[in-house]
A and B are shown apart, each in its own frame.
Chain A
């Protein structure tokens, strides 16, 4: 056991790390920029909330480490919170002495106004005191029993989410009368979420969550006692309900929400394709966007009424061609790199992806692909006079094709080919010794995965009505890879969850797009350490996670060793 002094020292240094984080988010501009979104009118905005959460985190962390009684824990929280506050106070002092703005563009008077509660350098003691108070609150959270902490957390989270997205929710709940309007008027005022509404939301969610916690086993028990047919019926009902909700989403959410949903859908399509390559077959691919581009360009060239259009086909005729072209592209792409393994494969595919983009962009191929000007005038798809004119309509194309492709992926996963892919992912040499023809199996992975992405590209072309090579940069490939890993490698629902989190959520917070990749990067780093199996791990992995010790605990041994490697 460490000495008491050492342990207190660690509390302070832990608090200072949180203080550094607070200084970081301030200087990087998040506090001020996020301050624009008021969460609860007159109470708190998003920027201040961020600082508050950091303070709470400091207290929570400090109290959780190390034992001691209630008083000791609260004291640790107090100290850590004060240290966090001291970090911000240091920034305050520094900012009043030196002109930080020459270097840090966000070290503005407005920022110092926020941090110091409007008191400038005189606010230093106040900042430290506020930190201490928040730290104690954070520490107090550790002392609550789970049955209280859970519902409390749910209530707070719900309030924050509803406050954060109040504008969107108000649009969804628009109208003058009816249930939707009633709900809206109950919670919101036109300007946002008032304290009264926040309190209502908090209390309702708190109570609901507490009730659910106590009733869940009863409900589960009741369901499990029904005959299998009823159970199946219930499940079907749930599914239908979910489908119904998804179907009305664009109409309810409006243009902006539809646009976000279509993007999520496109990324889901690409995610399904890459998941097939990486998650199923273990072939790392950082040039995946190339297939997306090939699908888009094929549809563009075949349907465009503009300068570069070659056939003026309809969208529906062009899509199958796009699928076949990207399938063949997958074969051709896969052939030369059959022998390359591991990280080298990642880099080789990255190279391929970039080559395709640069070629599309170049003046050399401009006579065919339009160079940097791209291909314009790609017509919208239509069926019998109904035109899929915008995101609200195209959403349904995305939805149907995602569902179809997910279905295909699921069938493949459970087939002989799917098993061959997974065997190859686990151990290429042994897979070959099992009689699997690696060449066929690899090429099929590239081809089918490419075709899935090509489908996404085709819809993308129709959505934008024009194609620019700039849309197909490396960041897309990386985003897609990240989303399948965040969702859970090899897991189909994981792809949807991943694109909702990494594409949908940032899109909804579009006004903060300056910080999108910052948060995204931090999330990836944290995720890899906290939940490397993803948010929705593949079925087999999940089963084991429930049954056995966590994956991380298996360290060595004949088979386990390779599982790690």
Chain B
């Protein structure tokens, strides 16, 4: 079993089955992608892993520990962090504050300590600021600490979101369409950045992505979802040539027109 493992995960919304008996295993220190058409259940899976949704059936383990009954804050504290498809930064907070919020779980200061500004609190805060500034540099936003998040350009918002996720010192990072809205050059930079995360920080990466060039270029393993089911899994080459993937993801012309819905 890898760092993250889901077994027979099923999630329904009313009558709609968003995930259907999904088995997924993510190996430690791998870069693993989930692809599939819109509505295939990819983001739903992220929401289940991070505790935002609760699956009706099945289990999910992180480092061997079951996490499907934990609240999102507990799951984050265990070492899973994520970004969002449509960027969800704290818009009216500064970049630095966004990152500091990300550090919340491993800061210790209590509210009493904050009022009295005890030496421990002061030290804690000073270290946090230092680390936050380092993280900003890491994502290439040195000196932007005082900007409100909502005023950053699109690409920088994406990177700030990653920095915020890194601030919780995750072992597993879930990236939801990290290159959406980026041009090829920016996408390439992002790919390199994701590789650095894995190589330098040893973080396992699970990502959802539509940009095939990114997916094929970066992934070690690809899982293909369609209608909440896993229809294929393998290396980029295996997946690329899988006829079921081509059918589901790219669409073909089969002579089925006229068959009733």
Contacts and interface: CB of A to CB of B under 8 A. Distances in A.
Interface in B112-132: 114-115, 117, 121, 124-125, 128
Contact of A417 (B84, B97, B111, B149): B111
Contacts of A414: 114
A433 B98 CA distance: 13
A560 B151 CA distance: 8
Query: Which one of A420, A426, A560 has the highest number of Cβ atoms from chain B below 10 Å of its Cβ?
Result: A426
A436 interface: yes
Contacts, number: 122
Contacts of A415: 109, 111, 114, 121, 125
Given A415-B121, A416-B109, A433-B76, A541 B92 contact: yes
Interface string A401-441: 00000001001101111111011001101111111111000
A562 B87 CA distance: 10
A422 B50 contact: no
Query: Interface of chain A, helix or strand or loop or mixed?
Result: helix
Contacts of B124: 416
Nearest to B88: A430
Interface in A510-565: 540-541, 543-544, 548, 554, 557-560, 562-563
Interface in B71-108: 71-73, 76-77, 82, 84, 86-94, 97, 100-102, 104-105, 107
A444 interface: yes
A329 interface: no
A448 interface: yes
A33 B82 CA distance: 63
Q: How large is the interface on B (under 10, 10 to 19, 20 to 34, 35 or more residues)?
A: 35 or more
Contacts of A548: 148, 151
Contacts of A427: 88, 90
A414 B109 CA distance: 12
Nearest to B96: A419
A437 B73 contact: yes
A416 B107 contact: yes
A411 B111 CA distance: 9
A559 B87 contact: yes
B150 interface: yes
Q: How large is the interface on A (under 10, 10 to 19, 20 to 34, 35 or more residues)?
A: 35 or more
B100 A558 contact: no
Interface string A389-403: 000000000000000
Given A433-B72, A559-B87, A444 B104 contact: no
B84 to A, nearest CB: 7
B159 to A, nearest CB: 13
A431 B104 CA distance: 10
B157 A423 contact: no
B90 A558 contact: no
B5 to A, nearest CB: 21
Contacts of A435: 73, 76-77, 104-105, 168
Given A415-B121, A434-B164, A562-B91, A422 B97 contact: yes
Interface string B166-179: 00100000000000
A553 to B, nearest CB: 11
A429 B51 CA distance: 11
Contacts of A554: 150-151
B87 A426 contact: no
A442 B228 CA distance: 36
A430 B150 contact: no
Contacts of B101: 419-420, 422-423, 431, 434, 436
B193 interface: no
Query: Which one of B52, B73, B121 has the highest number of Cβ atoms from chain A below 10 Å of its Cβ?
Result: B73
B157 to A, nearest CB: 6
Contact of B93 (A423, A558, A562): A423
Given A419-B93, A433-B82, 8 more contacts: A418-B114, A422-B92, A431-B90, A434-B101, A434-B105, A436-B101, A559-B88, A562-B91
- The 4 residue pairs across chains A and B that have the minimum distance between CB atoms: A415-B114, A435-B105, A435-B76, A563-B91
25 contacts: A412-B114, A414-B114, A415-B121, A416-B100, A416-B125, A418-B114, A422-B92, A423-B104, A429-B72, A431-B101, A432-B73, A433-B82, A434-B164, A434-B168, A435-B76, A435-B77, A436-B104, A544-B148, A548-B151, A554-B151, A557-B150, A557-B154, A558-B86, A558-B87, A559-B149
